[in-house]
Amino acid sequence: MKLPDLTELALRNLRESLLRNSLTTIGISVGVASLVAMLSLGIGLQQLASRRLMKSGLFDTVVVTSRRDLRNFGREEERSGPPPAESRILDEPTRQEIERLPNVLEAYPDIRFITELRYEDKPHLTMVAALPASAKTSDAFETVQGHFFSSDAAPEAVLQKAFAEELLGKMPKPGLDETNVSELAAPLLGKDLTMRYAQREAAQSGSSTQANDNDNHDDKKTAAADQSPAGAAYSVVSREQKLKIVGIADLDPESMRGPTRARVFLPLKLAESLHVMQPTDLREISRAPTGQPLYSSVSVRVKNPSQVQKVEDAIKKMGFNTFSILDASRSIQQFFKVLDVFLGIFGSLALAVAFIGIVNTLVMAILERRREIGIMKAIGASDGDIKKLFFAEAGAMGILGGIVGVALGWAIGQVINLGTNVYLKRQSFPPEHFWSVPWWLIAFAMVFSFLVSLVAGLYPAGRAAQLDPVQALRYE
Amino acid sequence: MSSEARLPLSDPPAIRAEHLCRHYRMGETLIRAVDGVTLEVPAGEFVALLGSSGSGKSSVLNLIAGLDRPTSGSVIVHDRNLALLSREELARYRLHTVGMVFQSFNLIASMTLAENVELPMRFAEVDRGQRDNLAREALARVGLQARMNHRPSELSGGEQQRAALARALINRPQLLLADEPTGNLDSHTGTEIMNMVREINQQLGMTVVMVTHERALAERYAQRLIFLADGKLVGDESSSAVAAHAEAERIRP
């Protein structure tokens, strides 16, 4: 029998026992809907998580340190390569070299120091970090009160919430993190801060005192080093810089990438121009009379998280240590895969019930249409014709159920999306789209529903085809 | 007159059964529904299979129709031994070589008459465009053109049997098999149907095998009566109407 005839007869038969077949089809729809709902929830959550993580900059960042930085030495994967003393130093030309690597968006030095800031003549000691202009788009500064730096060299500062509380003399309640950032912002925005810091200045050779860490005192102490055979030397001068508070950031200082634990942020170009004394200056003093700034670490932003590994390898080949949390991301991806499988299994359970429903409906149809099958055989239908007819009925229910099911699953997703966003809005969170029904899922669900139905039709169709026409015709 | 004597040697018989047996088990007992039947039916003959219920007449008809397979022996229809055909080949044989009518009409209740008549053409994969016309013509020939779009339940028994006849003939079979075709009809409509069957036999020269238990009906329409009892052939004679029909046959080119 030809396909159009088959389809026509199958649809006619489905219409004949409309109620039963509709119920079966609804069963398939519910199964498909639950599968679509579960999988789109999984996919949506995964997309939401990776969107968040991408924004946070955690997954597209490689931190580069010199092998000479012995703090990292001894980690298993970094034992290869030249010994630390012969490794390259991390300075401005190197940074530019890294920035020229393929797939690298930018490479910026991590400038971080502890220093004293004065606000209304009261000194506060804290960690200061420099931020590149690209940090503006990162998630951490998305909710900043006020605004981000007006330019990359502006004498401006963004404060971390806890530091803002400290400036206002408020004691943060331990364990509670409920301070409203906007309350803090009002009295602080536009005010000036005075930062005192130790500036490294190229010095005339000769003056030699003691090397000094820059991280604790504001003494007007001049430190210079004069151990280099080339006679390189510099002095450390205490300076002041006025900063305007332009923003208060509501971020957890422990969760940040580059400027970990920093509570005051400066624009990168400004921080670079200050030539603040860095711990590495002392470490490298004996061998780097280049006049170029040295960096303790450089953060590299990669175009796409998937290219992190390649960039890391390239930088390692240059002779530096690298670190990224790619491995962490791998385990997260794995987690989502497992989650998808679980959600898929739960979704499929409903479809499995629908599967039994199809088998049941078709077996009932055989009993009911026993005589009809006998007649068809008597007038010349082959086993194949009968089998195909039952398959076509199962397939038609599968396709119909698939279409209705996808629509239903999509609708459920929309409703839940809407509901959650209403809830999120009440909790004054931004709305999220964590329900995603990609095209491939729709296609997959329909094909899957069709195939499941065909498999369900296998047994009934075989049974119908094997029916003995003589007995079937005798059956009243 | 023996069947052999009436058969011209050059013309092979339409149906030849040799030691045909159909046995089956029902619990402990072996039922010999057909038990060693040998017979020949020449092409164009109208044969009635007579016997009481359980005599095996319907079983013989089912074996000739290819609906059932012999336990032993053979049925050869137009040079094809049905016992040797595959299920698929047997289905094709039923589709193209045999037309069947039943006591209970066996029209498909969910289909209109036109659809019922069209159904064998669907299985035969006849072109869609042709099918409509052929079905309409076939129904017109049995006088049902006005009821084409009615369902069987809306029709009388006689009308249903006429539609069944139209369906049986739609693929131009060589054999018309009828199982008690008038069993569910009153005598008037029964006569009407039987006249149609005789017309088909005489005008189209189609071989007809009819199962019935009414001797009078068989005498009136069939050329030859074959009697069965307990699965065995117990009689084979020309009907009283045979002389007239033999005459008619002889003068036909």
Report yes or no: A236 and A173 within 8 Å, Cβ to Cβ. Answer: no
pLDDT at res. B151: 94
Range of weakest confidence among A33-37, A306-310, B117-121, B167-171: A306-310
Average pLDDT over residues A83-99: 77
The residue that leads in pLDDT, A225 or B26, is B26
Three-class secondary structure of residue B253 per DSSP: coil
Q: Would you call B119 an interface residue with chain A, using a CB distance cutoff of 8 Å?
A: yes
Q: Would you call A18 an interface residue with chain B, using a CB distance cutoff of 8 Å?
A: no
| pLDDT beyond 90 at B76 | yes
Task: Specify the pTM.
Answer: 0.66
What six digits make up the tokens of A128?
């200061």
Q: Would you call B131 an interface residue with chain A, using a CB distance cutoff of 8 Å?
A: no
What six digits make up the tokens of B161?
């049997």
Cβ-based neighbours of B64, under 8 Å, separated by 6 or more? B15, B17, B75, B77, B82, B98, B175, B177, B209
AA letter at A458: L
A360 & A466 share domain:
yes
A92 & A134 share domain:
no
Report yes or no: A65 and A297 within 8 Å, Cβ to Cβ. Answer: yes
Average pLDDT over residues B161-185: 93
A178 & A305 share domain:
no
Residue B65, min C-alpha distance to chain A (Å)? 8
pLDDT at res. A217: 42
Range of weakest confidence among A389-393, A429-433, B44-48, B141-145: A429-433
Q: What is the DSSP string of A347-404?
A: HHHHHHHHHHHHHHHHHHHHHHTHHHHHHHHHTT--HHHHHHHHHHHHHHHHHHHHHH
| pLDDT beyond 60 at B126 | yes
Residue A405, min C-alpha distance to chain B (Å)? 29
A96: domain range?
A: 60-107+300-324
| pLDDT beyond 80 at B138 | yes
B24-57 pLDDT per residue, tens: 888 889 989 999 999 999 999 999 999 988 899 9
Enumerate the β-bridge partners of residue A140: none
A43 & A77 share domain:
no
Q: Do B123 and A2 touch (CB under 8 A)?
A: no
A172 & A260 share domain:
yes
A13-63 pLDDT per residue, tens: 888 888 888 988 998 898 888 888 888 888 888 777 777 666 666 667 788
Q: Domains of chain B, with CATH numbers?
A: 3-97+173-251 (3.40.50.300), 111-171 (no CATH)
| pLDDT beyond 60 at B177 | yes
pLDDT at res. A138: 66
A412 & A455 share domain:
yes
pLDDT at res. A212: 41
pLDDT at res. A203: 59
A174 & A265 share domain:
yes
Most confident range, picked from A110-114, A420-424, B134-138: B134-138
- In the predicted model, what is the mean pLDDT of chain B? 88
Q: Do A377 and B94 touch (CB under 8 A)?
A: yes
pLDDT at res. A323: 77
Q: Do B123 and A381 touch (CB under 8 A)?
A: yes
Q: Do A375 and B108 touch (CB under 8 A)?
A: yes
A118 & A219 share domain:
yes
Range of weakest confidence among A95-99, A112-116, A175-179, A429-433: A175-179
Which residue in the set B104, B109, B120 is minimally distant from A379, CB to CB?
Answer: B120
Label the pairing between strands A104-109 and A297-302. antiparallel
Residues of chain B with C-beta less than 8 angstroms from the C-beta of A382? 87-88, 91-92, 95, 123
Which residue in the set B67, B88, B125 is minimally distant from A378, CB to CB?
Answer: B67
Annotate A393-402 with b (16+ C-beta within 10 A) or e (fewer): bbbbbbbbbb
Average pLDDT over residues A435-446: 85
pLDDT at res. A211: 40
Report yes or no: B146 and B163 within 8 Å, Cβ to Cβ. Answer: no
Q: What is the rounded CA–CA span in Å between residue B80 and residue A101? A: 82
pLDDT at res. B2: 45
A222 & A289 share domain:
yes
Report yes or no: A78 and A323 within 8 Å, Cβ to Cβ. Answer: no
| pLDDT beyond 70 at A224 | no
The percent of residues above 70 in pLDDT, for chain A, comes to 76
When divided into structural domains, chain A yields a total of 3
Residue A403, min C-alpha distance to chain B (Å)? 27
Which residue in the set B87, B107, B122 is minimally distant from A5, CB to CB?
Answer: B122
Between residues 217 and 236 of chain B, which touch chain A (CB distance below 8 Å)? Answer: none
Residues of chain B with C-beta less than 8 angstroms from the C-beta of A376? 108, 119, 123
ipTM metric: 0.89
Q: Would you call B24 an interface residue with chain A, using a CB distance cutoff of 8 Å?
A: no
AA letter at A356: I
Label the pairing between strands A122-131 and A264-267. parallel
| pLDDT beyond 50 at B234 | yes
Q: What is the rounded CA–CA span in Å between residue A186 and residue A146? A: 9
Q: Which residue of A has its CA nearest to B61?
A: A470
Enumerate the β-bridge partners of residue A234: A202
A87 & A169 share domain:
no
Q: Would you call B88 an interface residue with chain A, using a CB distance cutoff of 8 Å?
A: yes
Q: Do B91 and A383 touch (CB under 8 A)?
A: yes
A122 & A245 share domain:
yes
Of A61, A95, A14, residue with least CA distance to A303: A61
- In the predicted model, what is the mean pLDDT of chain A? 77
| pLDDT beyond 80 at A73 | no
For chains A and B, count residue pairs whose Cβ atoms are closer than 8 Å: 72
Of A125, A94, A132, residue with least CA distance to A284: A94
pLDDT bin (cut points 50, 70, 90) of residue B173 is very high
A281 & A154 share domain:
yes
The residue that leads in pLDDT, A297 or A384, is A384
